[in-house]
Structure 1
Amino acid sequence: MSSAQRKDDHVRLAMEQQHAHSGRNQFDEVSFVHHALAGIDRPQVSLATEFAGISWPVPLYINAMTGGSAMTGRINRDLAVAARESGVAIASGSMHAYFKDPSCADTFRVLREENPHGFVMANVNATASVDNARRAVDLLQADALQIHLNTAQETPMPEGDRSFASWPAQIERIAAGVGVPVIVKEVGNGLSRQTLLALPALGVAAGDVSGRGGTDFARIENGRREHADYAYLHDWGQSTAACLLDAQDVALPVLASGGVRHPLDVARALALGARAVGSSGGFLRTLLDDGVEALIAKIGSWLDQLAALQTMLGARTPADLMRCDVLVSGELRAFCADRGIDTRHLAQRSTSIEALNELTGSTR
C-alpha cells in the first residue's frame, strides 16, 4: 500500500471513529467548584499564554493531523486557512511521507503558504534523522518541531516499527540539532509522569500529553490488518485528564490534547495544568462535514466561550485557571489514588475570602 493511500485511510477511519463516539470521556470526571462571587468583568480577561519561551495569543491550537496525499493536502490547506483566520497555532501531520516521497512536499508546505505569519509546528517521528528533522522545519519555516511517540500505534500497524530502544537518544540528537523548540507528543495514548520527567534531559521544551479519549490510532491500525487481531489494544493508555493529574508539579511545560470536545474541556485541561490545549478529530469532522467557514466559526466560538468561562470563574488569564477549585471523581479519582496523587488540594485552591479576593482583585 502506498503512503498516500495509508494517509487517506487514516482520515477515513478517524472520521468513522468521530461519528461513532459515545460522547463521554474522563474530562467528565473533572468539575469546577462554583464560587458565586468569583466572577470578574469580561474586559479583564486575556486568553494569552506562554510556555518554554513561546507566546501565543490564545491557548488553543489545531493539533497534528495529516498530509502526504492530494486529499490530505487539500485538508491541510483548509486547516491552515482556519488557523490564519482564527489566530491559533497549527501542527502538521507526520512528515515521514515527505521524507519517502519529496513530491508530496506541497501537501505540507501549504500550511505555511496559507498561513504565512502564524505559529506552525512541523511533525516527525522519533526515528527521523537530524537531517530529515531539519528538512521538515525548513519546508514549513516552522516555529517549533513536534516529535510524536506512538508505540501503541506502531505495534498493530502492519508495516510499523518494532524497535523503540533508540528513541530517547534520537530525540536528544534532534532537539540539539534543529534550532527550534522541540515538543514531544503522544498520538492518543498519553504521556506518563515518568516520561515527562525524562524529557528535559533530552533537550525537550514541552510535552503534549495527547491522552486517550480522542482518535484511537491503535484501533485505526488494527482496522487495517487482515484479521484485526490486535483489538485488545483499543483504548490503550491514559486519558488526557489522567495524564495532566499525573503531571502535577512536573517542571516541564505541559500541553494537552486528546478527547477535547468543547470549551469546557479546554478550561478543565488548563485548570489541571496545561499551558495550551489542542484539538484534532473534532475540528477535522467540522471541516469535512461543514467546510472551512464552519471550522473558522467553531474555533471563534470556542475562544469566545473560553473567555466567558474565565470571566465566570474569575480567571484573568488561562494560567489563573490553575488557581480555581476542581473536583475529581469516578475512575479518574481511582487512577489518582493508585498513582499516589492527592487530589484534595485541587478542591481547596481558594479556601478563604482572602484567596478569592486575590483572585478577583477585590479589596473588600
Structure 2
Amino acid sequence: MIADRKDDHVRLAVEQQQQHHGRNQFDDVSFVHHALAGIDREDVCLATGFAGISWRVPLYINAMTGGSQRTGAINRDLGIAARETGVPIASGSMSAYFKDPDCAGTFSVLREQNPDGFVLANVNATASVDRARRAVDLLRADALQIHVNTVQETVMPEGDRSFASWAPQIGKIAAGVDVPVIVKEVGFGLSRETVHLLEDLGVRVADLGGRGGTDFARIENGRRELADYAYLTGWGQSTAACLLDAQGAPIPVLASGGVRNPLDVARALALGASGVGVSGTFLRTLLDGGVGALIDRITTWLDQLAALLTLLGARTPADLTHRDLVIHGGLREFCADRGIDTRAFAGRSGGRDGAHETTGDRR
C-alpha cells in the first residue's frame, strides 16, 4: 500500500505540474532596474553559506520520493543529476523505509549515485531519534530534513490526526542527531512565529516550503473516494509571502514551493533565502525527457542565475539582499496586514547605480 501511495503521489504531482505554470506571488516581486549596475561575469560566484553549511550553488533538488520500485528509479536519476551538476539533493520521506527495510535501496541510491555530493535525509516529525539516526546513516547524509505536513495529513485518508507531539519531538531529534536539522514545510508555508519556535527547538535552518508548487492537499483529496476536502486547495502562504514574513528570522531560511525559473530563484535569494529548492519542475523534466534533460535544465538554470547576478551587480547570492525590489499586488496586501514595511525594499542599494558590495555568509 505504501508503494502504491508513493507512485500515486508522483503521478498526481506531475499532473499538477502540467496544469499550473501560470502566475504565482513571485510575480508580485520586481527588481528595480539600474542600467549601470552590472558587473563582469567572471566576478560572480554562486557559492552560498549558512548555519555552518557550504554549498557550491544556491540551488538544490528538494525532497520528492522513494519507497517503491518506480520511485527508486526516479531517485537513481535524481542522484545522477545532482552528481553531474553539483547541486545538493534531499531524499523524499523515508517513512516507507522504516515500515519496510527492503525498500532501503530506493533511498540509498541517492548516495550511491552521488558519493561526494551534499545529501539530505528526510523524516517526519513523529520519527523517533533512533529512526532519524538510521535515516542519516543509510544515506550517509550531511543534514537531516524533518518535514511538517499537518494539512496533508488532515486530508490523507490514512493520515495522522495527532499533532501536539510534533514540536517536542522535533526538539528531541534536533538534539539527538549529529548533523544539522532543517525543518521543511511541504507546500503550505512556515510563518514567522513557527520559524522562531523552530529556533527555540534547536533547529538550525527552516525551509519555508510555501504555497505555489505541488499542492499536497489537492493530491491527497484526489485519493479520497468523495474528494470532499477540495476547499483546502490553495491553503497556506506563498513562498514569497513566507520569505517576507521571515525577515530578521533568528535562523537561516531556505525557499521552496512554486519556483518556476531562474528569475524566481533570484527573487527568493533577494528576499533572504540562503538557498532555493525545486521539486515539481525538475520531476516533470526528468519524467518527460530523462536524466540528460534534467542535467541540461539544471545546468541552464545555474548559467542563467549567474547571468542575472551579473546584470544586477551581485557578486554572490547573498549580495542580492541589497538589491532594490518593489513588492506589489496581493503580496503587498499580505505584508500590510502582517506589519511588514515593503517600502524599505525599494531603496536597499543606497540609491546609486553600481553599488557593488560583497556580504559573504548570511549567518
The residue number in structure 1 matching 2:310 is 311
The 1-side partners of 2:149 and 2:138 are apart by 23
- Taking structure 2 as the reference length, the TM-score comes to 0.98
1:186-236 CA deviation, whole Å, 9 max, x = no partner?
000000000001111111010000100000000000110010000011010
Q: Which amino acid aligns with 1:32?
A: F
Secondary structure of 2:54's counterpart equals: strand
2:103 is paired with a residue whose SS is helix
Measure, in 1, the Cα distance between the counterparts of 2:339 and 2:150. Answer: 26
Structure 2: how far apart are the matches of 1:247 and 1:265?
17
Partner amino acid, structure 2, of 1:285: R
Alpha-carbon offset, residue 358 of structure 1: 4.5
1:275-309 CA distances to partner (integer Å, 9 max, x unpaired)? 00000000000000001001001000000000000
Question: SS at the partner of 1:359?
Answer: coil
Indicate yes or no: 2:360 matched with 1:359: no
Partner of 1:179: 178
Would you say how many aligned residue pairs link Structure 1 and Structure 2? 359
Gaps of 5+ in 2: 359-363
The residue number in structure 1 matching 2:76 is 77
- Indicate yes or no: 2:72 matched with 1:53: no
Matched, 1:341 2:340: yes
Aligned partners of 2:148 and 2:342: how far apart in 1?
Answer: 28
- Residue 351 of structure 1 and its aligned partner are, at CA, apart by 3.2
Q: What is the rounded CA distance, in whole Å, between the counterparts of 2:325 and 2:280 in structure 1?
A: 26
Report the 3-state secondary structure (helix = DSSP H, G, I; strand = E; otherwise coil) of the residue aligned with 2:288: helix
Aligned residue for 1:110, secondary structure, equals helix
Q: CA deviation at 1:350?
A: 1.7
Which consecutive segments of 4 or more residues in structure 1 shift more than 2 A? 355-360
Counterpart of 2:96 in 1: which secondary structure? helix
1:352 positional shift: 3.1
- Is 1:117 matched with 2:125? no
1:210-359 to structure 2, matched below 5 A, reads: 210-353=209-352, 356-359=354-357
State the TM-score, normalizing by the size of structure 1: 0.97
Matches within 5 A, 1:52-201: 52-201=51-200
Preserved contact between residue 313 and residue 356 of structure 2 (Cα < 8 Å): no
Distance 2:163 2:307 in 1: 44
Q: In 2, Cα distance between the equivalents of 1:135 and 1:357? A: 48
1: CA distance between counterparts of 2:333 and 2:293?
39
Does the CA contact (< 8 Å) of 2:314 and 2:356 recur in 1?
no
The structural deviation recorded for 1:178 is 1.1
Code of the aligned partner of 1:294: A
Q: What secondary structure does 1:136 align onto?
A: helix
Q: Distance in 2 between matches of 1:301 and 1:36?
A: 24
What letter corresponds to residue 33 of structure 1 in structure 2? V
Unpaired runs of 5+ residues, structure 1, are none
State how far apart, in whole Å, the 1-side matches of 2:356 and 2:46 are.
19
How far did 1:311 drift?
0.3
| Cα deviation code 1:87-127 (max 9, x no counterpart) | 00000000000000000000000000000000000000000
How far 1:251 moved relative to its partner?
Answer: 2.0
Task: State the percentage of identical aligned residues.
Answer: 75
Return the alpha-carbon distance in structure 1 between the equivalents of residues 67 and 177 of structure 2: 22
Q: Residue type of the partner of 2:180?
A: P
- Equivalent-residue separation in structure 1 for 2:291 and 2:210 (angstroms): 26
Aligned partner of 1:159: which letter?
Answer: E
Q: Give the 3-state SS of the residue equivalent to 2:160 in structure 1.
A: coil
Deviation at 1:22, TM superposition (A): 4.4
* CA distance in 1: counterparts of 2:311 and 2:100, whole angstroms: 50
- Map of 1:208 onto structure 2: 207
